[in-house]
Amino acid sequence: MLEKTSTFQKAIEAVESLDPEAQAILVDIIQKRLKQQRRDHLLKEIA
């Protein structure tokens, strides 16, 4: 778990180093990917 926390912390630090516009773009991309993952999961359950 410690290694995952370290990786997560590194990701947070990398995002914080981006300018606010790039952070907003990244958030948008992540939200869209999460929605797609949920859709894919639901489709697998239905099929």
* Confidence label for 2 from pLDDT (cuts 50, 70 and 90): low
Identify the pLDDT of residue 18. 98
Question: Rounded distance, CA 25 to CA 28, Å?
Answer: 5
Half-sphere CA count of 44, side-chain side, radius 13 A: 6
Number of domains in the chain: 1
26 belongs to a structural domain? yes
Q: What's the pTM? A: 0.76
pLDDT digits (tens, 9 = 90+) for 3-34: 667 999 999 999 999 999 999 999 999 999 99
Helices within 17-47 (DSSP H only): 20-46
- 8 Å CB contact between 20 and 28: no
At residue 18, the 3 state secondary structure works out as coil
- Residue 24 tokens read as 């907003």
40 belongs to a structural domain? yes
Question: Rounded distance, CA 29 to CA 20, Å?
Answer: 14
42 belongs to a structural domain? yes
14 belongs to a structural domain? no
